[in-house]
């Protein structure tokens, strides 16, 4: 039995210390999933904590045949999807429209080997995060689980309660949408709109 499973067993028997160690171990993956899904730091913190609470409450139901990480991220993904649906139905958030103001600003690393490349990378990541928020909640979860957590299509289907073919088509659709939006918001495209115009103008 590995260390993680031993911790899960202890937590199932009521050890708060063991559960805290699991929280410490998985705080970054869970928080990252919430942040990528919800797009705002304060919602991400709250959702990550709520996800851990849900895991704590449902520890007795955890099937030891499954990977703990997959189960934990599945609960988190479902919670974030619920949050996004609730947010869409209950109120139209004005803050959600002003996404740039809430996001912590990242500055290029002056010690990086190529600062220009570093700036491009940061801009690209900011654009990706912005564009990710435009996707449908389940598509977004599928993309995040695939690219941040290297989940296979089968693991995604188990986590999001979908069929494998549905996951595949959702991933395709989401990736095309991401590319389309990134193409639309990249600076090169704006120049291409008037290829015969004078650079001065």
Partner 1 sequence: MDHQSYETWLLDDERLTAGQERELRLHLQSCPQCAALAQSNRALRAAPMSAPPAGFALRFQARLAAERKAQRIRNISGLTLILIVGISVMLLLMPVYLTYVSSSPAQLAAKSITDLMVVGFALRSIGQTCGTPACAATAFVPPYVWALGFVLVAGIGCFWFFSSRRFTRFLETRGRSEPVTPGGQA
Give me the residues that bind partner 1 (CB under 8 A), please. 16, 20, 23-24, 27-29, 31-32, 35-36, 41-46, 48-50, 52-53, 56, 83, 86, 90, 103-104, 106, 121, 124-125, 127-129, 143, 147-148, 171-172, 175-176, 178-180, 182-183, 186, 189
Least distance from C-beta 197 to partner 1, angstroms? Answer: 18
The DSSP H or E segment spanning 1 is: none
Give the span between the Cα atoms of 72 and 54, in whole angstroms.
9
Least distance from C-beta 1 to partner 1, angstroms? Answer: 24
Least distance from C-beta 48 to partner 1, angstroms? Answer: 6
Least distance from C-beta 159 to partner 1, angstroms? Answer: 18
- For residue 107, what are the CA distances in angstroms to 11, 32, 124, 130? 40, 20, 13, 17
Handedness of CA 177, 102, 82, 65 (dihedral sign): positive
Given the complex with partner 1, which of 64 and 180 has the nearer CB atom? 180
Given the complex with partner 1, which of 63 and 116 has the nearer CB atom? 116
Least distance from C-beta 91 to partner 1, angstroms? Answer: 9
Given the complex with partner 1, which of 162 and 174 has the nearer CB atom? 174
Given the complex with partner 1, which of 4 and 45 has the nearer CB atom? 45
At 110 the three-state DSSP class reads coil
Given the complex with partner 1, which of 119 and 129 has the nearer CB atom? 129
- For residue 178, what are the CA distances in angstroms to 90, 141, 173, 191, 192? 27, 13, 9, 20, 20
Residue 33: closest CA among 87, 88, 73:
73
Find out whether 51 and 37 touch, Cβ atoms under 8 Å: no
Least distance from C-beta 199 to partner 1, angstroms? Answer: 20
Q: DSSP secondary-structure letter at 162?
A: -
Give the span between the Cα atoms of 17 and 40, in whole angstroms.
29
At 151 the three-state DSSP class reads coil
Given the complex with partner 1, which of 37 and 160 has the nearer CB atom? 37
């Amino acid at each position: 039995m590995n260390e993680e499973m031993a911790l899960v067993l202890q937590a199932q028997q009521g050890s708060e210390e063991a559960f805290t160690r699991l929280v410490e171990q998985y705080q970054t993956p869970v928080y990252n999933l919430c942040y990528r899904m919800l797009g705002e730091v304060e919602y991400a913190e709250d959702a990550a904590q709520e996800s851990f609470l849900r895991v704590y409450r449902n520890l007795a139901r955890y099937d030891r045949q499954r990977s703990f990480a997959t189960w934990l991220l599945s609960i988190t993904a479902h919670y974030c999807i619920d949050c996004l649906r609730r947010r869409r139905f209950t109120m139209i958030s004005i803050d959600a429209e002003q996404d740039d103001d809430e996001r912590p600003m990242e500055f290029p690393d002056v010690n990086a080997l190529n600062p220009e490349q570093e700036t491009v990378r940061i801009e690209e990541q900011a654009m990706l995060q912005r564009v990710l928020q435009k996707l449908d909640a389940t598509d977004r979860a599928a993309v995040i689980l695939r690219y941040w957590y290297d989940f296979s299509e089968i693991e995604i289907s188990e986590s999001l309660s979908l069929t494998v073919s549905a996951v595949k088509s959702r991933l395709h659709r989401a990736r095309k949408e991401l590319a389309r939006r990134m193409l639309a918001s990249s600076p090169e495209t704006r120049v291409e709109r008037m290829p015969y115009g004078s650079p001065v103008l």
